[in-house]
């Protein structure tokens, strides 16, 4: 009957979400956090006029929860810690491991299929809920990528569906919003809503106001309430969307009258990304427990392997994936940096002024601001580290071996040729 | 629903999974135009046997029928929900009407004061800037509205209605929120958003002088300007203070009044605003209705205002009440819960389209009975289609069943309205009464037990009712016994309104009213005997006793009503057409327990997947289990730190152990055997085990159940969740 109890626990989501929950007979009403851990907690006591019926149950659950925590702590300290090291395992080469991972034979394919088939029978209900204005939030163990896309392709054919890959570290919510506005504009144009089609006001505004204008456009009203764009957000709690600003923007977009949202979460602390207003008023979630037990193949690409993590070579594959999602100009800037590092492997790195000069010569950037924005992107994704040059100037260094860098450059070139 | 999207080629998928976003597909053209055609098809086929003959067609026709059914249910839902929502809004407006009027009067009074100051200090108004120099002239009239609701988003509708009310009184009204008063956006953004609400033309310089000119140009110097800020607590103090100082400088030229919503106490501006800004405020306090009053009004609007519509079972109502209590008492969450229940009812109960006609009756006050017509339309689209006798009987049964549900519900509603009127004297909340009145246990089918039940057999049905000793209905009945004469008279007057069309009850009520007015002891006694045939007569000798007797009779009258007419909807046949009962489904939809459930998925993976090959009587982990489930289960035996080496070895041991231990061979399917063969000892190379281990750790990391090793402890990873 009650919200999940929370007790004296501290959890940290990768990417900087610090979540502190408290118990003591209070209900956690609002808890949202910024990127680097600003935590707001509002404690609301129960209304005395409408007493809660099952207080004892909550106390017991909370007690059990905190007891488990202290027991685990205790057993951790009382049992003699094992001195075994990862290196004793005899770790196989990373490349070989990655290849083996791509060949992993999934277990229980038949059962997983029948589980997904059972969800297919619910598609009509989910569609009904979306048409009634709700957002769908899917949780449970297993990748929900194929499930959500299958649902969208099967049951939402009447509507334009835009997919956001929240597991990618490089999602830019403003670009997404502009894409959604374009999609809605096309739909309105096709439906002959001429007043809307002739005034795409967000296209004429400056970048600082663009988001407000776009949201106002998405909110309409454009007449028929059955005209909407569906957004499917894989991993709305993913690293690229986890900060407070992105979640606020997503909530504002989801609250627009011509937008419906279908999302998946995988992290156990994901609900703490939102406050009550976002959950109930803006996202307007209906929760669906849909474990699929499918492998997180795509979602897990950006995580370093446990057995090879900490070794000198960074995961070149994940760097390649991040780079592929950046703009061609950003890729070219990275290439300049990488080529310099390959030619001068013994140097501390490339000086920023030097990089700027070369990029300007090659017409990759027109000013320092653009270059800085690319560099910020690289640093955010750990593609580049800053080091202090002996002469005092900052220089840039890619934390990859020369071989890994060469392979990475080949990968980028190949992908660009393919595209 | 048709085939899956598996038709998409892997190549397409490969291109898309690395894109931050992409268009999966575009809307089918001419969707909205196609729908009315489908609808017309349904309407034109009402009662047509020809249509039924064609029902043996292929899958396309079935698909078309399914789409038709969904459209019908959607239309019915929209109609029903718009009625519920309209009722809820209506009653909330009614609750706040007095407050709105008081605020409006205050606005007009404040405006007149400003005007008198303008006339008095004409020298000041003619100055360019700042127009006001006198500290009193610079004061901003400010209404502090105490909402007593910590969740300000719950008050959005309240302030929206207030804005509309003020606008209808001729005020110029602007709305700003805490989103505008942020340190990030600063004062210029606030000013811009404020000006934009009045001045539609574009302006380059953001300055209040533009607004002063605009106000002068309006030529309506008689209209006050109002700025509503609904959530003061969340505003940035410095930005708001600066804005207040700015407005106060212009108040002689722009007669603006502030209306500020406060979630906590009226002292809060002192801790948010700067002292200088505080000096420029002339506050006046207003209160909105209490949460209890608002909840009562909401319950009335949703469940009782109109006759039979969408209804919920006792368990669902009780759950919603507890949900309201435990979630900060937000009315919008309560309404949202009801909407989810309504959506779930319409999406799962095929006969829910019948609610459409009931909603139309409520809306338009229709008195004719189109129920059979609608049943026909429904039957064409469902399994009931056909022309044989059994189908006809089923239709007849459905029509008569629904008519009965409607009749019983009407009676139930009347009694609850009476209880609601009486409950106001004992401060019992309507939602509590409703929950109790919906309880099917209130009606007992067993033989009467004199020690537990009070039974009356005055005509009507032979049902018995039992009220809980400390229940809300018992409290109401007990209170009636203590009501003073004039109050009881007032109550009976209120009851009279509810009994339109119920002549038998009305007659009994009139007798009761007559008794109350009559001082004749003997007459009272006689009437009492008339009403309560089975109650033992008592000797009445004084005026106090007369009054006591009337109160007793009123209480008995209420009991009589409960006995004969309070039949909870769940006790009537065909109630499932209009009543939503699945409380677990509602609970799951309303508040997902993702933290707990993800862990349960991993612990009980075998059960959820429904596989037989992983079941072990000893509870040991089988090698055929999902890798991540094996890892998570084995981590439960560890402390908060897990040694990666040991964990890997444990995982390896499980994967390499013999598979046939503990599982009877005959239970295993061929598929399971096939799955098992790949996990036989010695068959799995080291590289595959390491790859599986890495994959499982990554998955646990994605779910947030593990934290990766730090530089300080490179050989350990940390558990994050402890217990469910």
Terminal CA-to-CA distance of chain A, rounded, Å? 52
Q: Which of A14, A263, A297, A314 is nearest to A142 (CA)?
A: A297
* Residues pairing with B281 in the sheet: B140
> Which residues of A fall within a CB distance of 8 Å from B335?
none
Could you give the CA distance from residue A258 to residue A181 in angstroms, rounded to a whole number?
Answer: 10
Phi/psi of residue B711, nearest 5 degrees: -65, -35
Residues whose CB falls within 8 Å of the CB of residue B112, separated by 6 or more in sequence, listed in order: none
Judging contacts by C-beta atoms under 8 Å, the chain B residues touching residue A23 are none
Query: CB-CB: which of A4, A160, A285 is closest to B596?
Result: A4
Residue with tokens 């086929």: B45
Chain A residues in contact with B324 by the CB 8 A cut-off are 47, 50
Show residues of chain A in contact with B592, CB under 8 Å: 137, 139, 271, 285, 287-289
* 3 state SS of A74: helix
Residue with tokens 């300290």: A77
Strand partners, A287: A137
Residues B465 and B442: beta-carbon distance below 8 Å: yes
Q: Which of residues 227-246 of A touch B (CB under 8 A)?
A: 227, 232, 240
d(CA A333, CA A256): 38
**Strands, sheet with A394-397, edge to edge from the N-terminal-most edge strand:** A350-351, A394-397, A385-388
Higher confidence at residue B160 or residue A347? Answer: B160
Distance, CA of B270 to chain centre: 35
CATH domain A109-289 topology: Rossmann fold (3.40.50)
DSSP secondary structure letter of residue A288: E
Q: What are phi and psi of A397, to 5 degrees?
A: -135, 135
Mean pLDDT score, A203-232: 78
Given a contact cutoff of 8 angstroms between Cβ atoms, the answer to whether B338 and B302 are in contact is yes
**Most A CBs within 10 Å, among B155, B206, B601, B694, to test the A interface:** B694
Q: Do the chains contact at A1 and B319, CB–CB below 8 Å?
A: yes
Chain B residues close to A276, C-beta within 8 Å:
151, 153, 327-328, 330, 333
Q: Determine the Cα–Cα distance for residues B524 and B537; give it in Å rounded to an integer.
A: 11
Q: Which fold has domain A316-418?
A: Arc Repressor Mutant, subunit A (1.10.10)
- The answer to whether A143 and A297 are in contact (CB under 8 A) is yes
Residues of A within 8 A of B433 (CB-CB) are none
Place of tokens 């449970």: A140
- Provide ipTM, 2 decimals: 0.81
State how far the Cα of B236 lies from the Cα of B259, in Å rounded to an integer. 17
The Cα of A353 is separated from the nearest Cα of chain B by a number of Å equal to: 31
Q: Which chain A residue shows the shortest CA-CA distance from B724?
A: A65
Contact B501, B462 (CB under 8 A): no
pLDDT at B365: 60
A395 touches chain B (CB under 8 A): no
Which residues are registered as beta bridge partners of A13? Answer: A17
Look-up: residue for tokens 């319409």? B346
A288 near A126, Cβ under 8 Å? yes
Task: Provide the 8-state DSSP code for B136.
Answer: T
Task: Record the pTM.
Answer: 0.77
d(CA A348, CA A387): 7
Q: Strand, helix or coil at A44?
A: strand
Residues 14-53 of A with CB under 8 A from B: 14, 27, 29, 42, 44, 46-47, 49-53
**Which residues are CB-contacts of A237 (< 8 A; sequence separation ≥ 6)?**
A13, A166, A265, A266, A267, A270, A273
Residue ranges of A 64-93 with Cβ closer than 8 A to chain B: 64-65, 67-69, 71-77, 79, 81-82, 84-86, 88-92
Q: Which residue of B has its CA nearest to A229?
A: B27
Handedness of CA A360, A365, A367, A373 (dihedral sign): negative
Distance from CA of B690 to the nearest CA of A (A): 7
Pairwise CA distance, residues B539 & B524, whole Å: 11
pLDDT at B377: 64
Three-state DSSP at A388 gives: strand
Record: contact A160-B26, CB cut-off 8 A: yes
Mean of pLDDT over chain A: 77
Distance CA B74, CA B96 (A): 32
Chain A partners within 8 Å of B708 (Cβ): 14, 304, 306, 309
Residue B257's SS3 state is: strand
Contact B270, B278 (CB under 8 A): yes
- CA angle, residues B525, B528, B534, in degrees to nearest 5: 120
Tell me whether residues A68 and B723 touch, CB distance under 8 A. Answer: yes
The domain segmentation of chain A, as residue ranges, is 9-78, 109-289, 316-418
In angstroms, rounded to a whole number, what is the distance separating the alpha carbons of residues A286 and B166?
A: 36
Of residues B157 and A46, more confidently modeled: B157
Which residues does B362 contact at the CB level (< 8 Å), separation at least 6? B83, B306, B307, B309
Q: Note the pLDDT of residue B580.
A: 94
- In whole angstroms, what is the distance from residue B665 CA to residue A381 CA? 51
Question: Closest chain A residue to B349 measured between Cα atoms?
Answer: A125
What pLDDT was estimated at residue B685? 84
| Residues of chain A found within 8 Å of residue B8, distances taken between Cβ atoms | 149, 153
Domain residue extents for chain B: 121-289, 440-567, 594-719
- Each residue of B25-38: b (16+ CB within 10 Å) or e? bbbeeebeeebeeb
Task: DSSP letter for B147, please.
Answer: -
Contact (CB<8Å) A271/B22: no
Any B CB within 8 A of A281 CB:
yes
pLDDT attached to residue B681? 43
> What are the CA-CA distances from residue B548 to residues A120, A168, B552, B559 (Å)?
65, 76, 6, 16
Question: Which whole number is the average pLDDT over A96-118?
Answer: 89
User: Which candidate from A12, A85, A111 shows the least CB-CB separation from B611?
Assistant: A111
Instruction: For residues A119-128, give the mean pLDDT.
Output: 94
Which residue of B11, B19, B24 is the best one to mutate when testing the A interface, meaning the one whose CB has the most A CBs within 10 A? Answer: B24
- HEC profile of B589-617: HHCCCHHHHHHHHHHCHHHHHCCCCCCCC
* Strand, helix or coil for residue B24: strand
> Among A84, A127, A240, whose Cβ lies nearest the Cβ of B643?
A84
A212 contact B CB<8A = no
Q: Is A275 on the interface with B (CB under 8 A)?
A: no
A97: pLDDT strictly greater than 80: yes
The answer to whether A309 contacts B720, with C-beta atoms less than 8 Å apart, is no
Region of B23 (left: φ > 0; alpha: ψ -120 to 50; beta: rest) is: beta
From the list B70, B597, B599, which residue is nearest A289 (CB)? Answer: B597
> What confidence tier does A160 reach under pLDDT thresholds 50, 70, 90?
very high
B130: preceding bond cis by omega (within 30 degrees): yes
A362–B contact, CB cutoff 8 A = no
pLDDT, tens only, A238-297 = 988 988 889 999 999 999 999 999 999 999 999 999 988 899 999 999 999 999 999 999
What mean pLDDT is predicted for residues A178-186?
90
Q: How much is the pLDDT for B13?
A: 53
- Nearest Cα residue to B197 out of B178, B219, B180: B180
Flag residues of chain B having pLDDT under 70. Answer: 1-14, 30-58, 119-135, 219-221, 328, 361-390, 443-470, 517-548, 616-619, 659-683, 711, 723-724
Task: Give yes or no for a contact between B403 and B361, defined as CB atoms under 8 angstroms apart.
Answer: no
What pLDDT sits at residue A333? 92
Contact B325 A52 (CB under 8 A): yes
Q: What strands lie across the sheet with A135-139, from one edge to the other?
A: A285-289, A135-139, A259-264, A229-234, A160-165, B21-25
Q: How far is the alpha carbon of B531 from chain A, nearest alpha carbon, in Å?
A: 36
**Cβ–Cβ of B709/A276 closer than 8 Å?**
no
Token readout for A301 is 């690409």
- Minimal C-alpha gap between B617 and chain A (Å): 20
Tell me the CATH number of domain B121-289, given options 2.40.50.140, 3.30.70.360, 1.10.3720.10, 3.40.50.300.
3.40.50.300
What is the spatial distance between Cα A42 and Cα A46, in angstroms, rounded to a whole number? 13
Backbone angles phi, psi at B687, to 5 degrees: -60, -35
Tell which wins on pLDDT, B711 or A156: A156
From B22, B344, B709, residue closest to A163, measured CB to CB: B22
A194 lies within 8 A of chain B by CB:
no
Q: Give me the pLDDT at residue B369, please.
A: 57
For A359-373, the pLDDT digits (tens) are: 999 888 888 888 988
Nearest to A268 among B598, B698, B717 (CB): B598
* Of B431, B645, B671, Cβ closest to residue A84: B645
Is A173 part of the contact surface with chain B (CB cutoff 8 Å)?
no
Q: How far is CA B648 from the centre of its chain?
A: 49
For chain A, helix (H) and strand (E) counts, in that order, are 15, 12
CA-based nearest residue in chain B for residue A277? B153
- What is the arrangement of strands in the sheet containing B716-719, beginning at the earlier edge strand? B641-643, B716-719, B706-707
């Amino acid at each position: 009957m009650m919200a999940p109890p929370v007790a004296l626990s501290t959890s940290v989501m990768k990417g900087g979400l610090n979540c502190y929950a408290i118990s003591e007979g209070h209900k956690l009403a609002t808890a949202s956090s910024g990127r680097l851990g600003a935590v707001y907690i509002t404690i609301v006591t129960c209304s005395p006029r409408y007493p809660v019926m099952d207080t004892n149950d909550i106390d017991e659950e909370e007690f059990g929860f905190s007891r488990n925590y202290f027991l685990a702590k205790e057993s951790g300290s009382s049992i003699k810690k094992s001195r075994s090291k990862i290196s004793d395992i005899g770790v196989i080469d990373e490349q070989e491991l990655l290849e083996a991972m791509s060949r992993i034979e999934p277990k229980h394919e038949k059962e997983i299929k029948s589980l997904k088939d059972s969800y297919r029978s619910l598609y009509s209900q989910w569609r009904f809920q979306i048409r009634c204005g709700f957002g769908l939030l899917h949780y449970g163990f297993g990748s929900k990528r194929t499930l959500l896309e299958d649902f969208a392709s099967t049951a939402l054919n009447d509507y334009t569906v835009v997919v956001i890959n929240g597991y990618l570290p490089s999602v830019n919510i403003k670009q997404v919003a502009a894409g959604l506005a374009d999609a809605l504009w096309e739909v309105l144009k096709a439906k002959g809503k001429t007043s809307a089609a002739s005034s795409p006001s967000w296209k004429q505004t400056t970048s600082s106001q663009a988001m407000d204008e776009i949201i106002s456009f998405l909110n309409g009203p454009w007449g028929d309430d059955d005209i909407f764009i569906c957004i499917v957000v894989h991993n709305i709690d993913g690293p690229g969307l986890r900060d407070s600003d992105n979640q606020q923007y997503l909530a504002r977009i989801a609250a627009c009258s011509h937008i419906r949202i279908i999302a998946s979460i995988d992290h156990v602390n994901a609900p703490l990304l939102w406050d009550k207003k976002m959950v109930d008023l803006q996202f307007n979630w209906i929760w669906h427990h849909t474990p699929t037990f499918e492998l997180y193949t795509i979602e897990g690409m950006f995580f370093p392997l446990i057995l090879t993590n900490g070794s000198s070579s960074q995961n070149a594959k994940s760097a390649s994936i991040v780079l592929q999602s950046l703009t061609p100009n950003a890729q070219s800037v990275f290439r300049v940096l990488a080529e310099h590092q390959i030619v001068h492997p013994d140097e501390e790195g490339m000086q920023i002024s030097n990089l700027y000069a070369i990029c300007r010569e090659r017409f990759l950037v027109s000013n320092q601001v653009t270059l800085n924005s690319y560099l910020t992107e690289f640093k955010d994704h750990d593609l580049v580290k800053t080091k202090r040059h002996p002469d005092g100037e900052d220089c840039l260094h890619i934390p990859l071996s020369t071989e890994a860098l060469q392979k990475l450059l080949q990968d980028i070139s190949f992908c660009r040729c393919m595209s | 629903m048709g085939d899956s999207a598996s038709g998409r080629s892997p190549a397409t998928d490969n291109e898309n999974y690395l894109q931050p976003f992409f268009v999966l597909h575009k809307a089918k053209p001419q969707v909205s135009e196609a729908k009315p055609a489908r609808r017309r098809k349904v309407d034109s086929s009402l009662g047509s046997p020809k249509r039924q003959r064609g029902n043996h067609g292929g899958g396309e026709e079935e698909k078309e029928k399914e789409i038709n059914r969904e459209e019908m249910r959607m239309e019915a839902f929209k109609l029903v929900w718009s009625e519920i929502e309209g009722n809820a809004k209506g009653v909330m407006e009614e609750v706040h009407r007095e407050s709105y009027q008081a605020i409006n009067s205050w606005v007009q009074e404040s405006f007149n004061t400003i005007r008198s100051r303008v006339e008095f200090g004409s020298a000041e108004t003619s100055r360019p800037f700042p127009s006001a120099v006198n500290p009193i002239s610079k004061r901003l009239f400010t209404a502090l509205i105490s909402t007593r609701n910590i969740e300000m988003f719950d008050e959005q509708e309240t302030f929206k209605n207030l804005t509309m009310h003020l606008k209808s009184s001729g005020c110029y009204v602007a709305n700003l929120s805490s989103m505008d008063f942020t340190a990030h956006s600063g004062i210029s953004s606030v000013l811009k958003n404020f000006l934009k609400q009045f001045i539609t033309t574009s302006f380059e310089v953001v300055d209040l002088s533009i607004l002063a000119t605009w106000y002068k140009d309006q030529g309506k110097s008689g209209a006050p300007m109002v700025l509503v800020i609904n959530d003061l607590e969340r505003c940035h103090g410095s930005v708001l203070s600066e804005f207040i100082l700015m407005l106060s400088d212009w108040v002689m030229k722009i007669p603006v009044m502030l209306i500020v919503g406060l979630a906590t106490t009226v002292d809060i501006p002192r801790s948010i605003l700067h002292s200088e800004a505080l000096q420029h405020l002339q506050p006046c306090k207003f209160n909105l209705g209490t949460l209890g009053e608002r909840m009562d009004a909401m319950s009335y609007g949703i469940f009782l205002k109109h006759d039979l519509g969408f209804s919920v079972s006792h368990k669902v109502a009780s759950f919603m009440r507890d949900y309201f209590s435990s979630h900060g008492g937000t009315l919008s969450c309560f309404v949202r819960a009801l909407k989810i229940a309504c959506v779930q009812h319409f999406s799962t109960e095929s006969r829910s389209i019948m609610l459409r006609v009931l909603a139309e009756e409520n809306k338009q006050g229709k008195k004719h009975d189109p129920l059979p017509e609608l049943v026909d339309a429904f039957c064409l689209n469902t399994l009931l289609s056909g022309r044989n006798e059994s189908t006809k009987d089923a239709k007849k049964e459905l029509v008569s069943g629904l008519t009965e549900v409607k009749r019983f519900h009407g009676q139930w509603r009347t009694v609850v309205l009476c209880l609601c009127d009486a409950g106001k004297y004992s401060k019992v909340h309507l939602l509590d009464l409703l929950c109790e009145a919906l309880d099917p246990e209130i009606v007992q089918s067993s033989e009467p037990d004199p020690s537990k039940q009070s039974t009356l057999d005055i005509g009507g049905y032979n049902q018995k009712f039992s009220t809980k000793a400390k229940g809300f209905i018992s409290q109401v009945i007990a209170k009636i016994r203590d009501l003073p004469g004039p109050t009881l008279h007032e109550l009976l007057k209120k009851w009279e309104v509810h009994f339109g069309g119920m002549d038998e009850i009305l007659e009994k009520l009139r007798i009761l009213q007559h008794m109350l007015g009559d001082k004749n002891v003997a007459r009272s006694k006689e009437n009492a005997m008339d009403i309560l045939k089975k109650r033992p007569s008592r000797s009445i000798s004084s005026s106090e006793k007369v009054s006591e007797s009337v109160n007793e009779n009123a209480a008995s009258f209420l009991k009589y009503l409960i006995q004969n007419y309070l039949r909870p909807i769940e006790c009537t046949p065909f109630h499932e057409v209009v009543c939503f009962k699945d409380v677990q489904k509602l609970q799951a939809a309303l508040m997902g327990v993702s933290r707990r459930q993800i862990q349960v998925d991993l612990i009980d993976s075998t059960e959820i997947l429904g596989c037989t090959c992983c079941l072990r009587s000893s509870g040991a982990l089988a090698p055929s289990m999902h890798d991540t489930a094996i890892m998570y289960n084995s981590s439960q035996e560890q402390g908060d730190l897990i040694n990666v080496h040991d964990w890997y070895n444990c995982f390896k041991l499980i994967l390499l152990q013999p598979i046939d231990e503990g599982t009877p061979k005959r239970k295993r399917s061929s598929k399971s055997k096939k799955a098992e063969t790949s996990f036989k000892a010695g068959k799995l190379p080291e590289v595959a085990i390491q790859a599986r281990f890495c994959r499982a750790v990554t998955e646990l990391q994605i779910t947030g159940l593990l934290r990766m090793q730090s530089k300080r402890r490179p050989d350990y990873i940390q558990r994050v969740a402890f217990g469910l």
